[in-house]
Each structure stands twice: as structure tokens, then as C-alpha cells.
Structure 1
Amino acid sequence: MTSLWLSDRVEQPWAATDLDADPQRADIVVVGAGITGLMTAVLFARAGKDVLVLEARTVGACATGNTTGKVSLLQGSHLSKILSKHGRSVTRAYVDGNREGQSWLLNYCASQGVAVQREDAYTYAQSSDGVSSVRAELNACHAAGLPATWEDDADVPFPYQGGVRLAGQAQFDPMSLLDALVVELLGHGGRLVEHARVRRVSSHGKRLRVHVNNAAHEDVEFEAEQLVLATGIPILDRGGYFARVKPSRSYCFAFEVPGNITRPMMISTDSPTRSVRYAPVADGERLILGGAGHTVGREKSPSVALEELSAWARTHYPGANQTHFWSAQDYTPIDDLPYVGPILPGSESIYVATGFNKWGMTNGAAAALALSSRVLGGRMDWSSAFASWSPHEIFGLRTAMKSNLEVGFTLTRGWITPSTRLGRRNPNEDEGGVVSGPPWRLEARCRVDGAEHRVSPVCPHLGGIVNWNDADKAWECPLHGSRFAPDGTLLEGPATQDLTAERRQR
């Protein structure tokens, strides 16, 4: 299960730094080597800062390398949600930030020779039920100053009941961008360490101590003046961001398709979501189809929706042959605006960037511009729409209360249900995973590719009981979205530790 961008890339044009190499200090440590982390690091390095990037896995391994690669200011039905909660001025500020992020990215790609395809973007209705939400998005685009138009027809082979078109948007291979950013970072004297998971952060006078495990789980400690958490969701619980965003998982297929592939970038407002674009490859083009999204850890069988999504492609693109399948995780903020800035009010030592709501290509770039401006002393007039602490968030309190009641219910249910089953009932005989046993002796068992694994199902973040994702073949915590490999190895946070194997001794 590897994305088109990660599986088809040639050898990377850079070499990472060894974790144990001196000096074990930096002006700024950036955690996370996706678009937000690497672009932020480059902007700091350009200003002469000593920058160290720490990546728990590999460059682009999480959201950026598993995105659809759309660089668009038309973002499904997102603008109408912001407008309804926050009004015209905040919506304009949000769009201005995304526009500046998009402009920076496209200019950078042009200067670095990164291939970009300029295409129109559509938000469309698949049926009459979705028309009203698309009309609302058109109104929001106009309120935000975007020259969007209504199109009764889009010349596509699938159901289309009208949509909003925004001309001149962009798409690309995001890993080509990340490679270029790493090359520039290293050229400015910055450092990048892969397979270095940050476990915790402590204070030492005016400096921070960043505690890291290398690939061999050996502890290494770095000192820094400032820290940027560009990890999808902050891995530190300060500020309670795990309770201010909702984690969701979505999926993508790449298909080889005989004949023509739809040129515009399409995304539907009505369910089930359909996201469509094409991608150039060495031997032609691929159809990229996304959808089947769900709250992490709470879908009984994601593979069912994936089968339906794949069938949709074969119906509307006859002869479609699947070449790749992958998934990604993103976080929806309670007030529909990203959180970018100090992790706590008044703090200027630790910064966060999260809540991009599946539009990380432009939001991530905007976040990097906002963070570097704040630290280096610049000014971004639109940055108030991205503030990590803002009076705007009062509009999300009801959503937050509902979401965290759901979390509490899910936590209780996970512990008191004697046997929670997702996937095959008996993983000793078939592929799948199951959590079973009484509350004082719960055990997670799975069988993948003939190998059996037994681990504790207790998420080390806040004690949720993980569930099995039969599409990704991974354990997922339904509380705040931490994910683990079949053997319990941590894939992504907010947890910072693996699932334990202590239950094997019982």
C-alpha cells in the first residue's frame, strides 16, 4: 500500500544527516518533514538560522506523500462553512493566506523545475441533493473575492448536476517539491534526520530539550531555542489540540485508464465523496480517485466503502486497471480554521500547525509563511484567520463539546465491551484483527500476510482501545487518531509510544 508519488519516485537527490552527528543543538528544531515542516525550515534557513528537521519516518511518509496533490483555492464546500461561522472578512483572510501559499509554491516549483499542471478546479453536485451546498460554495467564493463561475455542464463521464468552477488552479507530484525543499535546506547548512521520533520536550532554562529515539530506540537529546511541531496533529498535549481537531482517514486509488481521463480537478459536495484528477507518469497518465473517508478508528469495515469506490471507477471509466492504493490522515478543526502559531497563548518557544482539513498543499504553505513571519519579525495581514488561539474559536465550542462527548462514549465502550471485533472473527485462521477479553485482560490480535501479532490494545496517548482497520491493516485509536502497525509500532500520533507487547506474557 504505497502512493503513486512514493512508489514511482527515483533515487532522492539528497542524503539525510545521521542522528548522532554533532552538534546536538540548533536554533530551531522542526518536527515533521512534510510540506509544512520543510517549507518552514527552508524559510528559517534562508534567514541564517541553524535549523534541524526531525522526521519520525521518512520525508513525506505521512500526509504530504499520500495526498492527492491538488493546489487549489476552491476546496470542496469549505469556504461556505467558514463564511457561515465567521463572516466575510475572516473568509477573505483565509483565502488570502491560501492564495499567498499557493503563489509561493507555484513560483518555487517554477524556479526549481518541479512539474506542475495548471487545470480548472470544480466543486460539484452528483445529484439534486447536493446542488444547494454547491450554490452556497459559489456565494462564498464571491464573498471571498474568488472569480468562480457556475457551470451546468463539465463534460465528465460520471453524474454531474452542476458545479462551481475556479480556473487556473494546479496539481503536482508533491514528492518532487519535498525533494527540492530538502536540497535547498541542506544547501543552506540545515540538517534533516529521518527515523528520529520525538518522544517528549522539556525546558532547560531558556532552551528546550528535545528527547528523540533513533531507529534502534536509543535516546538522543537535542537542545534548541525554538520548536515547530509540523506533525499533522501536535505530539505534545499542551493546548489540548487533540480535543480541538477531529482525525479523519481517506483513501486514494490510481488507475490506468484506456482513452481520455478527466482534465479538471473535481470534488463532490454530496456523499459519498468523489475526488478526481489525472497524474502524468512515465508511460502516460493515471486517474487518481479519492474518497471513502471516515473518522479514524470508528468505521466498522473501511474496505466495504473502498470496494464501492473502486467499482465506481470501473463503471465510469471502463477498462480502468488499478495500479496503486493508499490512504492519508488529516484533521478537521472545530471552528473550520487552521491552528497555526504558539502552542500556548503568550509562548514564543513552541509552535504548532494543524487543522488543514484535507487542504494541506495551500494551508501548509500558508502556515509556513505565517510561522516564519512570526518568528523572524515579519507581518502577514491574513494570519489572524490561522491563529492557534483566537476569539474566532468560540464558534466551535458546540462542535467541540459534541466531539468530546463522542470521545468519552467511545472510550467507555472500548473498555467495557467484552469483545470488539473488526475484520475476520478468528485471526488465527484468516487475515484480520480483533480486540477481545475482559477489561482487565484485553488483547489485540491480528494476522497479516501469514504473520500473527499480539499486543496490548491500550493506546499510550490517553488509554483508548484501538480498533482494526481492514483496509489499511493497522490498529487505530478511535479517540484522537493515533495509528499503529500490526506489530504495534507507532505510525502517527498524537501518541509518541508503540503499543506494548506485555499481554503476550499472560
Structure 2
Amino acid sequence: MTSLWLAEAPPIPTDDFLPGAHYDEVIVGAGLTGLVSALLLARSGRRVAVLEARTVGAVSTGNTTAKLSLLQGTQLSKIRSTLYQSATQAYVDGATAGFDWLLRYCELRGVPVERRDAYTYAATPDGAAQVEREYEVARSTGLPVQRVNDVELPFPTFGAVLLPDQAQFDPLRVLAALAEDVRALGGVIHEGARVTRVAASSPTRVVTSLGDLAAERVILATGTPILDRGLYFAKLSAHRSYALSARVPEEQLPDGMFLGAETPTRSIRTHGDLLLTGGNGHAVGRHPSPQRAADELLDWTLRYWPGADVTHTWSAQDYSTPHHVAFVGFLPRGRGRIYLATGYEKWGMTGAVTSALTLHADLLGGRTDWQRTLHRRFTTPEAIGRGIGENAAVGWWYLKGYAHALSTPLPQTSPAEGEGVVGRRGVRPVGLSTVDATTCAVSAVCPHLGAALTWNDAERSWDCPAHGSRFSASGTRLEGPATRDLTPVN
């Protein structure tokens, strides 16, 4: 599954790794958060290095639907249900700052941007109340939203919220421009440099697969933190969702960006002459068949756009916080030398830039009112309740995973192509899979905190239902809080 953006990505030059080099800031992760942070710091005269375990944009940014909008489904009403009005206002003010910064940057650098109206629509009568709630909360923050009764989509709708003049673009074009500017200012970008450890010494020591680096400060911009300080893996919930692009007759292309209020969510936008749809999200590692979720999105798309010719299919991983506001700032027990940004809840195009602006202010000074408000560590009863519920679910998946693995003998024959099974070999859970005619046996225990893994039949990967780490069929780490590969089993 390769996204439209990654399949058509422009070349992005990077730099040779120099073991032992010393920088002012090392940024872990070359997505939108990492590269905007790097550019802001490099513009301030800082010596910056960006480390990427895979390739630039390979994970979250390269698999987004790339909608830049201040109307974000029902996000504002979710925030208001767990926090207070001042925090909701600060979220909108921060998102507006990120929105404006990114639009100005794209205009300056000649990155194509299509302005579109954004809609949050109700696909059922029950969803109309959610739409109305989002309208009221958005209006209370000063956003110029409008009620709309009729949305021009090929299926019935029951009202919508409209926010005019939002934006959509190709995120890899943005990353290519950012990377070029970072390097022009003396920054370096290293691909294939997986960070496995950061020592919060003075200077910090950053241990990577290519060698060690030193830095005054480190920013973790990796989707979810790869360090366990602060226990953010227990404060976040990981979700996968699906997307596709397809050719349809020009007259069938919708004129706007749309997101449904109900579950399963359905996202709709265009890219040139292509239709893009997305949705059918689920918790990582907890769906009995991720392929079925992807197939349901395809079936839904073909139902309303008959004859759509699919060009690309892909999926993305996003992280949500108990209060629906990103965690941004210093990492606890990092001695003021390690910072993080995580938990954009599928709205990374604004969230990434908002976080980068906040990190720049944290490191160099000049916080705004909205940054000071969002820096508070929110602990409302509603947010605490969500966190307790998520961790209870994690505990249940530990029990379920081991009960299944230890009660199921590992098959003696290889699985069919594209299939994977977890079973017991001796007293340990083992994952056995066949991908591209190659059968691999690996430990089915997540090296992060030991949960039993499940097979993802859509992406042919081993996924952790506890904290969202993912691994290839042969055991190579793909994403999540784990820093080590799976152990091969002979």
C-alpha cells in the first residue's frame, strides 16, 4: 500500500552521516513537524540535524489526506467536552497560526495550493446533533462557520457545517521545499538513521543505527515518542485509517473538502482530476481483519462513484490524547534537554506547524497567549476517564493476546501467501507469515513492553494492540514507540 504522495514524491536530497558531530538541536523525524521545526531553528541561526529512520515523509506526513483546515470534523466539540472554553479557544488560535504560516510558506516557495471550502456533514439523522454541536462550538471561538442544509454529495446528508476558503495540497511537495531550505541554511538531513536511545546528559548523546551524535537539545517528532520518559505511550491511543485515490468523470468530482460526523468517518477531497476518500479507522492491532476495513472503504467509494478507477490505496497511523489536544513541550525527566510533539488526532497539517511554532518558542523564547494556555498539563475528570478506559483496554489485550498465543500450537506448514498466524512454539509466542513467497518466523512479542502481536492482513505487518508499534513480516520496526526489531525465530 503506497500513498499517492509517496508514489509521486519529488526527489529530496539528503546528507551523509558524520558520526560524532555536534549540533545545537537534533530533530528525530523528517515529517512536517520535524522539518518545520528545523527550518524555524535554522532561520534563527541554530545548527540543526534531522534524523529519519526511513525516508523523508515516509510515515505520517506521506500518508495523510493533506487537508489544511480549521474545521476539523467534530474535533472542537470533542475538545470542549473534555476541556474548558479557554483551551478550546487556544486550540483554534494555535491552529490558525499554523494554518497561516503554512499557507504563507507555500505561497513564498511556489508550492501549489488549492483553496476549498471545508464541510463537516451528517450522513444520518442522528449525526445532525453532532453537526449542530460543532457549529456552536466553532462559532464560539470566532470561526466564520455557516450552517448548510444541502451538501452536494452523491448520497443523502442531513445538514453540515461549512467553513469557507480552507486548503489542500500535496504534502511531499511541501516537505521537499522545507528540506531544501533547511539544507540551504546549513542544516543536515539524514535518512536511514534510526534513533534507539537519547541520554539527557550535557550535551545530550543521540544513539542511532549509523553512529552517535551530540546536541544541546533533542526534539522527538516521531508520531509517538520513542523514549518512555513521561509514559506517553500510556497516554496516547494509536489508530489506523485507510485512503484511496481514484479517477472519476470530472463532473462527479466534489467541489470541497468533506468529513462525516459519524463513525465510521468518511473523508472526501480531490487532487487534480482524482477523487480521494478515506476513513474506516480502528485501533492498531485490534481489528480482526484490517483488509476488511480497507475493502469497506473501497466498496463505499464504488457505491457512490460507480466505475471509479482506483490508482492508489494506503493507510495512516495517528495518535490521540485523552483531551484531544496535542502534547507539546519538554519531556519529563529529560533535564530540559529533550522535547516532544505528539497526538494530532488526524489533523497533522495544522497540528504539526502549530507544534513547531510552540517548540521554537520553548527553545528560543517568545511564547504567545495560546501557547501558554496549551502548555498546561490538562487533567480534567473527563480526560482522566478516557485515559483510564484506554489503559483498561490495553490490559485486556495483553490478556487476550497471550491467552490465544499460548493455547494455539504454531502450525507445521507455512501460511498461505499474505497470511500470518500467531501460535506457541515451546513456551513463547511466535509469528509465522508468508509474504512474497517468503516465509518468516519471528518473536510475536513486542520488544517495547511485551504485548503479543497480531497480523495485519492489509499491510502484511505485525501490529501491537497495546501501544501501536508495527513491524514488517520479517520483523523490521516500522513505527511506534518500539526501538528494536523483532527477534527472528529459527
Of the candidates 14, 17, 35, which is equivalent to residue 15 of structure 2? 17
AA in 1 matched with 2:8: D
2:76 aligned with 1:85 = no
Structure 2 counterpart of 1:452: 439
Structure 2 counterpart of 1:483: 470
Displacement, 1:392?
4.2
Displacement, 1:395?
3.8
Instruction: Tell me how far apart the structure 1 counterparts of residues 373 and 457 of structure 2 sit (CA, whole Å).
Output: 38
1:35-81 deviations in Å (ceiling 9; x for gaps): 00000011000001110100000000000010000000001111001
Instruction: Tell me how far apart the structure 2 counterparts of residues 263 and 385 of structure 1 sit (CA, whole Å).
Output: 36
For residues 163-202 of structure 1, the aligned pairs below 5 Å read: 163-202=160-199
1:244-289 deviations in Å (ceiling 9; x for gaps): 1100001100001123211210000112211000002xxxx11110
Instruction: Tell me how far apart the structure 2 counterparts of residues 486 and 268 of structure 1 sit (CA, whole Å).
Output: 34
Structure 2 counterpart of 1:2: 2
Seen in structure 2, the aligned counterparts of structure 1 residues 278 and 169 have a Cα distance that, compared at 3 Å, is same
Of the candidates 264, 274, 277, which is equivalent to residue 269 of structure 2? 277
Seen in structure 2, the aligned counterparts of structure 1 residues 399 and 439 have a Cα distance that, compared at 3 Å, is farther
Seen in structure 2, the aligned counterparts of structure 1 residues 485 and 441 have a Cα distance that, compared at 3 Å, is same
Structure 1 counterpart of 2:297: 309
Structure 2 counterpart of 1:145: 142
Instruction: Tell me how far apart the structure 1 counterparts of residues 52 and 60 of structure 2 sit (CA, whole Å).
Output: 13
Secondary structure in structure 2 of the residue aligned to 1:201: strand
Seen in structure 2, the aligned counterparts of structure 1 residues 83 and 453 have a Cα distance that, compared at 3 Å, is same
AA in 2 matched with 1:44: L
Displacement, 1:167?
0.3
Instruction: Tell me how far apart the structure 2 counterparts of residues 458 and 371 of structure 1 sit (CA, whole Å).
Output: 35
1:421-475 deviations in Å (ceiling 9; x for gaps): 9xx9975334311101167132101111211111001110000111001111111
Structure 1 counterpart of 2:229: 238
Instruction: Tell me how far apart the structure 2 counterparts of residues 62 and 334 of structure 1 sit (CA, whole Å).
Output: 23
Seen in structure 2, the aligned counterparts of structure 1 residues 440 and 425 have a Cα distance that, compared at 3 Å, is closer
Instruction: Tell me how far apart the structure 2 counterparts of residues 259 and 314 of structure 1 sit (CA, whole Å).
Output: 16
Displacement, 1:317?
1.0
Instruction: Tell me how far apart the structure 2 counterparts of residues 258 and 426 of structure 1 sit (CA, whole Å).
Output: 47
Seen in structure 2, the aligned counterparts of structure 1 residues 358 and 482 have a Cα distance that, compared at 3 Å, is same
Instruction: Tell me how far apart the structure 1 counterparts of residues 353 and 340 of structure 2 sit (CA, whole Å).
Output: 14
1:280-325 deviations in Å (ceiling 9; x for gaps): 2xxxx11110011000000000111222211111121121011001
Seen in structure 2, the aligned counterparts of structure 1 residues 152 and 420 have a Cα distance that, compared at 3 Å, is farther
Secondary structure in structure 1 of the residue aligned to 2:285: coil
Kindly, what percent of the aligned residue pairs are identical? 45
Structure 2 counterpart of 1:30: 27
Contact 1:416 1:439 in 2 (8 A): no
Give the count of matched residue pairs.
487
Contact 2:121 2:260 in 1 (8 A): yes
Q: Which consecutive residues of structure 2, in runs of 5 or more, have no partner in the other structure?
A: none
| Root mean square deviation of aligned Cα | 1.7
Structure 1 counterpart of 2:322: 334
2:115 aligned with 1:127 = no
2:259 aligned with 1:267 = yes
Of the candidates 215, 224, 232, which is equivalent to residue 215 of structure 2? 224
Structure 2 counterpart of 1:217: none
Secondary structure in structure 1 of the residue aligned to 2:200: strand
**Which segment is superposed worse, 83-92 or 120-129?**
83-92
Of the candidates 93, 96, 104, which is equivalent to residue 96 of structure 1? 93
Seen in structure 2, the aligned counterparts of structure 1 residues 121 and 427 have a Cα distance that, compared at 3 Å, is farther
Q: Which consecutive residues of structure 1, in runs of 5 or more, have no partner in the other structure?
A: 215-219
Seen in structure 2, the aligned counterparts of structure 1 residues 145 and 133 have a Cα distance that, compared at 3 Å, is same
Of the candidates 311, 314, 336, which is equivalent to residue 348 of structure 1? 336
Instruction: Tell me how far apart the structure 2 counterparts of residues 227 and 81 of structure 1 sit (CA, whole Å).
Output: 31
Structure 1 counterpart of 2:484: 497
Structure 1 counterpart of 2:49: 52
Instruction: Tell me how far apart the structure 2 counterparts of residues 471 and 59 of structure 1 sit (CA, whole Å).
Output: 23
Instruction: Tell me how far apart the structure 2 counterparts of residues 266 and 427 of structure 1 sit (CA, whole Å).
Output: 44
**Which segment is superposed worse, 483-492 or 378-387?**
378-387
1:146-199 deviations in Å (ceiling 9; x for gaps): 111110012111231111000010000000100010011001100100000000
AA in 1 matched with 2:466: L
Instruction: Tell me how far apart the structure 1 counterparts of residues 453 and 310 of structure 2 sit (CA, whole Å).
Output: 30
2:71 aligned with 1:74 = yes
Seen in structure 2, the aligned counterparts of structure 1 residues 122 and 426 have a Cα distance that, compared at 3 Å, is farther
2:242 aligned with 1:247 = no
1:383-438 deviations in Å (ceiling 9; x for gaps): 14532x514455411111111111111112211224689xx997533431110116
Of the candidates 139, 157, 170, which is equivalent to residue 160 of structure 1? 157
Secondary structure in structure 1 of the residue aligned to 2:197: strand
Structure 2 counterpart of 1:381: 369
Contact 1:258 1:319 in 2 (8 A): no
Seen in structure 2, the aligned counterparts of structure 1 residues 450 and 419 have a Cα distance that, compared at 3 Å, is farther
Of the candidates 345, 358, 383, which is equivalent to residue 370 of structure 1? 358
2:54 aligned with 1:62 = no
Instruction: Tell me how far apart the structure 2 counterparts of residues 262 and 488 of structure 1 sit (CA, whole Å).
Output: 41
Seen in structure 2, the aligned counterparts of structure 1 residues 147 and 130 have a Cα distance that, compared at 3 Å, is same
Instruction: Tell me how far apart the structure 1 counterparts of residues 150 and 438 of structure 2 sit (CA, whole Å).
Output: 51
Contact 1:292 1:302 in 2 (8 A): no
Contact 1:124 1:164 in 2 (8 A): yes
Secondary structure in structure 2 of the residue aligned to 1:121: strand
Give the TM-score normalised by the residue count of structure 2: 0.96
2:114 aligned with 1:117 = yes
AA in 2 matched with 1:255: A
Secondary structure in structure 1 of the residue aligned to 2:360: helix
Contact 1:427 1:434 in 2 (8 A): no
Secondary structure in structure 2 of the residue aligned to 1:382: helix
